[in-house]
Amino acid sequence: MTQAMPATNPPLVCWNCHERAQGTHFCPSCGKLQQVAGTTDFFALFGMPRKLWIEMNALEQRFLQLSWKLHPDNFVNATETERELSLKRSSELNDAYRVLRDPVARVEYLLGLENMRKEGEHKQQAPPELLEEVFELNESLDELREAKSAGSDLAALKSRLEAAERNFGEKLSEVDAQLQETARTWDVAVDAGADDAVRKKIMARLNELLNRRSYIRNLVVNVAKELGEA
């Protein structure tokens, strides 16, 4: 069995003293702030493995520590290179924290990092088992719009759509639960050093659930919007 190896950036050499400084924010030899080699890995930025369960208090504490160390105010009297690096690293840190603290964004980011999901990918196709319910929902939405234009009584239609909104809201909760369970499966696979085939199967499932979640969430948002305007 071939163990999957995480993607790595090339060794980073300190721009100031030219010593190797891979995996650190500051050069261990001269203490200068370092550049990020290659594409920024948000997990690595916080010194974390590519796992989907993150202890939020630990993440926040690490964020606050790094924010203080990387803040541009600490580099006012430094070289121009360090000032520019401070601005860049602080911005990357804020982006990383925003993504990693959100469970869904964290899954999307991991899949992108593992080349399993293109940025902004959302397949807007109704899951086969929901086709009939989605068809009925769209019919009800059309009827509501027509009734609004005609000035007709909306009570019955609104009641039907509110029931549909609750129904799809429950389905969204079910998908979120499945997403959490699959995320736990991913973490177990990472700890076990699972091979590429196992990892890709789990990531394909995560991708499928994300697309399903996106579709159902859009339905819920659209229904809520129509009801709010009714």
Joined together, the tokens standing for residue 206 give 């995560």
Q: How far apart are CA 45 and CA 50, in angstroms?
A: 11
CATH code that applies to domain 1-101: 1.10.287.110
Each domain of the chain, given as residue ranges in start order, spans 1-101, 131-229
**pLDDT score, position 23:** 59
DSSP 115: T
Nearest of 30, 57, 222 to residue 124 by alpha carbon: 222
pTM score over 0.85 = no
> 18: helix, coil or strand?
coil
**pLDDT score, position 130:** 87
Q: How far apart are CA 48 and CA 110, in angstroms?
A: 12
What are the average pLDDT values for consecutive 10-residue runs of the chain, which has 230 residues?
42 73 71 71 92 96 93 88 89 95 96 79 73 91 88 88 94 96 98 96 95 93 86
Residues in the chain: 230
CA distances to 32, 75, 213 from 79, in Å: 10, 8, 47
